[in-house]
Amino acid sequence: MIGGGTAHFSTCTDCGLVFLDPTPSPGSLNGFYEDVYFTQEYRVLEGFASPDPVQELALTLQYMERLADAVEEFRQPPGPVLDIGSAYGGFVMEMQTRGWDAVGVEPSGAAASFCRERLGLRVLHADIVGAELPAAAFHAVTLWDVLEHFARPAEAMRRIADLAAPGALLALTTPNAGSPAALIGRENWIGWKPPTHLCVFNFHSVRQLLEATGWRMLRAHGGGIYPGQLTVFAEKA
């Protein structure tokens, strides 16, 4: 648990949302992403393919191409796209090369600086709630394995809806707590990652969240880069 103490996952009996209880404080979470999450030691501990930013970026490029292809099934460039949780900038760079006006938001100062200084990308060092961005401006918004990191997902998704233009596309991936992989793997499933995974959704709970925060579901399906990954496409209602 960030900052000491213990926590466990609880399940909402209404929608099946699984959440970390108690949730770490905003200050401890910000400090963790700023000081720990992108260190080489933590990347190795978490099982990332490489603790080196350049190598990790190179290993994700093919996956970023697949995600960009999926976005372009629904929307075509040119247009402004916002990538939330940009990490080392692979998706922002991919969309930029395809003609999109791509902007990223990343809570880690080190990762955001890497994007700007090494890659020349527009990636803000901020969380999405506090980021200074224009309202109703983005034709597409993406969150690749980011939703589960939000301590207050409804607040974050309302903020994202405010930033999205009318009819904008929302595309996200997130662990599926209701997947066979989660049920079979139990505590060893990759989707359980305290203290960074705070809310783990399923098909029903993610639909409830989106419909309550200004979005209309277009498509949701399983299958992805790891067992039990959920992929969702929605548009601003």
Position 47 scores a pLDDT of 64
Q: Is the pLDDT of residue 93 over 70?
A: yes
| Domain coordinates in residue numbering, the chain | 8-236
Q: Is the pLDDT of residue 1 over 90?
A: no
* CA atoms of 102 and 30, how far apart (whole Å): 24
Nearest to 85 by CA among 18, 208, 171, 204: 171
Q: Is the pLDDT of residue 6 over 60?
A: no
Position 2 scores a pLDDT of 43
What does 155-184 look like in DSSP terms, one character per residue?
Answer: HHHHHHHHHEEEEEEEEEEEEBTTSHHHHH
Which has the higher per-residue pLDDT, 9 or 68?
Answer: 68
Domain 8-236 in this protein, CATH class: alpha beta
* CA atoms of 168 and 201, how far apart (whole Å): 22
For residue range 208-228, list pLDDT tens digits in order: 999 999 999 999 999 889 999
**Mean pLDDT, rounded, for 74-103:** 97
Position 152 scores a pLDDT of 93
Q: What percent of the chain has pLDDT over 90?
A: 71
Q: How confident is the model at residue 5 (pLDDT cuts 50, 70, 90)?
A: very low
Q: Is the pLDDT of residue 199 over 90?
A: yes
For residue range 120-163, list pLDDT tens digits in order: 999 999 999 999 999 999 999 999 999 999 999 999 999 999 99
Average pLDDT, the chain: 91
Q: What is the identity of the amino acid at 221?
A: H
Position 63 scores a pLDDT of 95
For residue range 12-61, list pLDDT tens digits in order: 877 888 888 878 777 788 788 887 777 777 776 766 656 688 988 998 99
Q: Which of 1-15, 26-40, 172-186 has the highest mean pLDDT?
A: 172-186
**Mean pLDDT, rounded, for 84-102:** 97
Q: How confident is the model at residue 167 (pLDDT cuts 50, 70, 90)?
A: very high
**Mean pLDDT, rounded, for 178-200:** 91
- Quick check: helix, strand or coil at residue 74? coil
- C-alpha separations of 163 from 26, 84, 133 in Å: 22, 12, 7
